[in-house]
Chains A and B, each alone.
Chain A
């Protein structure tokens, strides 16, 4: 239950940012040209990676539910691996864009781009740390109910990305 309330408070944080971004987008139609410089393919790959990792979390929850703790821990490890792939692609994107001169201070669009994706990436890292902790405990059969909680959190991170991807990458 605390997880749901926590996510509700997270929604207003991201909600506030996304909403102001939308207001700006509405006022500055020329931002669509800026958005064309994002790496849509990389974003698409990341969307796929995140969705797949969410699938693994569901499987992990199922395994923990049936008291197959070793399997649940392995599936969580796969999810964490998905998080690593996501971050690797993200790092490539950031370095590519910074090399091309699209730094945060270039325009407000890029400010939003880095703030939103950066905050999201921090959540991905947080989720990975939490899942590692949970996986290590679940392997020994401790606190299996926590698999569900990290799962809910991971889905939330996923859903945020589903909003960010079209808004930032496909806005052109």
Chain B
């Protein structure tokens, strides 16, 4: 079946560095993503300090000119989406969970998996090194619209943009390898007795996400190649003077870019879907409905992209259909959210740290979803477009699945990964600091957006409407939020590192959960299971009246 099927003694290098074991690769993705998360978090701090004191100098960074500020904003977005959300949510959790939840010994193609991680690491190195090339990092926004990205005259950065493009292309090649691996593993390596409708919900969502990613990334790669050629060879794809069209890139980018939102969102929601039933001791409400809703979300995500371009000069007749699909996609998402809420209904809820983060995800995401309606409607979008309202909406929509669900998942599966528990007290402190921090940062930004604060402005005081006492206070409030949120991550890092050395021994199934990963010992050895378990039922049989215990593992015959 796979190369990793038979455990044999290995050197440190082959076991932890050039490993083909899916769990080691998952941890590699996880740690790389977390390091990049710290970089992205630092950039967020630089942005907020600059906006609070536009004329001062940022402690720990120095003064920024406008080009540097744009580079910081660009790299913050790029890193957080492509180098934190993607590796952690898609790569790390899929790599960890797919084989374990299928009771399999490894992925279908372990060597491809290793190649995927090392390609990703290479892309990370290319991206980080772009900070140090002459002219600095890319500064054309994380969307890299031409002409900003096509010519150095507009955005300052020159080599930086080429590095940016190379890094993105490399990274997508890495995730394509990973994604194909996930899809094939899920289709081919399910255990006996596990049909598609006995799959845990998180596996379903990772499955849909991998397919959506695979089918949407092509046009962006094509667009990226064209942009690269425009820059390096001098072709004119996006240059109106040469007969090209800059809006073309926006179409290609968002044809990928919007499905990408769901590529991140679905695995995050899947993680929540695993945690809620365990800590309410109730079956997941509407399992099949959630599955169909996630498929519907995946399909519909392909026909909403132009809502990013309502004021980019597209045909107004095109705006209405895209507005309708955009608002329609909230239906399957609402189905998911309501099913999750119904799972909580009258359960015996236990607020462990993973559960707190899971519920926090739902609360925050609701705000992101509701504010999205204003932006999906062309009439209000024309007013709010490119303001901090969008920034706040976007962060409310993506921070829950990216960070909250990531923390929920880590606190939940850490015992499986390392065989030890994380500290609950530190976890709860971490949760509350994170929750408060996020809201203090982004609530004021809705208001700032209405006052006319455009994104990517290094000095808001140059604008009359923002040079008021009220606006400056809101800027400071938002910055204080960052100063709560970032130190708020210290308890997490302490718990993460300390758990590894001195956490309580977890045992195979500390949460009394049903899915197959809890059958394997913690941490699972190379090869995971002595033999692939047989599956007898769906994953969410909690509190069955005919059983004494309130859980019923998938692999138990009776």
Asked, given contacts A6-B180, A9-B217, A16-B252, whether A111 binds B222 with beta carbons under 8 Å apart, the answer is: no
Cβ contact within 8 Å between B235 and A111 = yes
User: Is the contact region of chain A dominated by helix, strand, or loop, or is it mixed?
Assistant: helix
Contact B229 A2 (CB under 8 A): no
Q: Is the CB of A13 within 8 A of B180?
A: no
Report how far A107 CA is from B244 CA in the complex, Å: 9
| B108 A108 Cβ-Cβ under 8 A | no
Q: Does A36 belong to the interface (CB within 8 Å)?
A: no
Bound CA span A15–B184, Å: 23
- Nearest to B235 among chain A residues (CB) is A111
Task: Report A119 CB to chain B, min CB distance, Å.
Answer: 7
- Please give the distance in Å from A134's CB to the nearest CB on chain B: 16
With A8-B215, A12-B216 as contacts: A107 and B222 at CB distance below 8 Å: no
Number of residues of chain B lying within 8 A (CB) of chain A? 35
Task: Give Cα distance in the complex from A110 to B184, angstroms.
Answer: 39
Q: Are B226 and A115 in contact (CB under 8 A)?
A: yes
Using an 8 Å CB-CB cutoff, how does the interface string of B242-253 with A read, 1 for contact, 0 for none?
111100100010
Contact B222 A105 (CB under 8 A): no
Total contacting residues, chain A, CB less than 8 A: 27
Closest to A17 in B: B222
Q: For A14, list chain B residues within 8 Å (CB).
A: 218, 222
B219 to chain A: closest residue by CB: A16
A1-B184, A2-B180, A105-B234 known; A13+B243 contact, CB < 8 A: no
B236 contacts partner chain A, Cβ-Cβ < 8 Å:
yes
Report A133 CB to chain B, min CB distance, Å.
14
B233 engages A104 (CB within 8 Å): yes
Q: Are A111 and B217 within 8 A (Cβ)? A: no
Q: Which of A11, A17, A105 contacts B235 (CB 8 A)?
A: A105
Given A9-B214, A105-B236, answer yes or no on A2-B252 (Cβ-Cβ < 8 Å).
Answer: no
Q: Which of A1, A8, A105, A119 contacts B187 (CB 8 A)?
A: A1
Contact of A8 among B214, B223, B236 (CB under 8 A): B214
Closest to B228 in A: A115
Give complex CA distance A12, B176 in Å: 12
B64-104 toward A: CB 8 Å interface, digit per residue (1/0)?
00000000000000000000000000000000000000000
Contact with A along B357-382 (1 / 0, CB 8 A): 00000000000000000000000000
A112 to B237, CA, bound (A): 8
B181 at the binding interface (Cβ < 8 Å): yes
- Complex Cα distance, B108 from A8, in Å, reads 18
B-facing mask of A103-125, CB < 8 A → 1, else 0?
01101101110110001000000
Whole-angstrom distance between the alpha carbons of A108 and B230 in the complex? Answer: 10
Residue of A13, A28, A119 with most partner-chain B CB within 10 A: A13
List the A side residues contacting B181 at CB < 8 Å. 2
Q: Given A8-B214, A9-B176, A105-B234: A115 and B229 within 8 A (CB)?
A: yes
Can you list 29 A-B contacts (CB < 8 A)? A2-B180, A2-B184, A5-B184, A6-B180, A8-B214, A8-B215, A9-B176, A9-B217, A9-B218, A12-B214, A12-B217, A12-B218, A14-B222, A16-B220, A16-B222, A16-B223, A17-B226, A20-B222, A104-B234, A107-B236, A107-B242, A108-B235, A108-B236, A108-B237, A111-B226, A111-B244, A112-B237, A114-B235, A115-B229
Residues of A within 8 A of B (CB): 1-2, 5-6, 8-17, 20, 24, 28, 104-105, 107-108, 110-112, 114-115, 119
Interface set of B (CB-CB < 8 Å, partner A): 108-109, 112, 176, 180-181, 183-184, 187-188, 214-223, 225-226, 229, 233-237, 242-245, 248, 252, 255
